[in-house]
Chain A
Amino acid sequence: MVGLSEGEKHFIRGGIAQDIRTDGRKRLQFRALSVETGVIPQANGSARVRLGATEIIASVKAELGKPSILHPDKGKVSIFVDCSPTAEPTFEAPFQDVLIPGRGSEELSTELAVALQRCLLGGKSGAGAAIDLSSLIVVDGKVCWDLYIDGLVVSSDGNLLDALAAAIKVALSDTGIPKVNVSLSAANDEEPEVDVSDEEFLQFDTSRLDPSVIFDMISVAKHVSQQFIGVLDSEIAAAEAEADE
Chain B
Amino acid sequence: MEYVNPLTGFRVDGRRPNEMRQLKAEVGVVARADGSALFEMGNTRVIAAVYGPREIQNKGQQVNNKEALVRCEYRMAEFSTGDRRRKPKGDRRSTEISLVIRQTMEASILTDLMPRSQIDIFVQVLQADGGTRSACINAATLALADAGIPMRDIVTSCSAGYLCSTPLLDLNYVEDSAGGPDVTVGILAKMDKVTLLQMDAKLPMDTFESVMGLAIEGCKAIATYIREVLLENTKRLEYQRG
Chain A contact residues, CB within 8 Å of chain B? 40-43, 46, 53, 55, 57, 59, 61, 63, 80, 82, 84-89, 92-93, 98-102, 148, 150, 152, 154-157
Contacts and interface: CB of A to CB of B under 8 A. Distances in A.
A41 B60 CA distance: 43
Contacts of B48: 86
B122 A85 contact: yes
Nearest to A1: B32
9 A-B pairs closest in CB distance: A53-B31, A86-B49, A59-B79, A85-B122, A155-B30, A89-B51, A150-B78, A84-B124, A86-B122
B120 A82 contact: no
Given A98-B58, A155-B31, A57 B77 contact: yes
A84 B126 CA distance: 11
Contact of A157 (B32, B77, B126): B32
A100 B57 contact: yes
Nearest to A58: B79
Interface in B54-88: 57-58, 60-61, 73, 75, 77-79, 81-82, 84, 88
A88 B32 contact: yes
B58 A100 contact: yes
Contact of B30 (A43, A98, A154): A154
Contacts of B57: 100-102
Contact of A93 (B30, B51, B89): B89
Most chain-B Cβ atoms within 10 A of its Cβ — which of A61, A86, A101, A156?
A: A86
Given A86-B49, A98-B58, A100-B57, A92 B30 contact: no
B77 A86 contact: no
Nearest to B127: A40
Contact of B122 (A55, A63, A80, A92): A92
A84 B43 contact: no
Contacts of B120: 85, 89, 92
B124 A86 contact: yes
Contacts of A82: 75, 77-78, 88
A92 B61 CA distance: 15
Nearest to A97: B60
A242 to B, nearest CB: 24
Contacts of B84: 61, 63, 148, 150
A156 to B, nearest CB: 7
Given A61-B79, A150-B84, 12 more contacts: A41-B127, A59-B78, A61-B84, A82-B77, A84-B124, A86-B33, A86-B123, A89-B122, A93-B89, A98-B61, A100-B58, A154-B30
B44 interface: no
B160 interface: no
Contacts of A152: 77-79, 124, 126
Nearest to A148: B84
A155 B38 CA distance: 12
Given A98-B61, A155-B31, A93 B90 contact: yes
A60 to B, nearest CB: 9
Nearest to B86: A80
Contact of A155 (B32, B77, B79, B89): B32
Given A43-B79, A87-B30, A148-B84, A98 B36 contact: no
A109 B229 CA distance: 34
A55 B58 contact: no
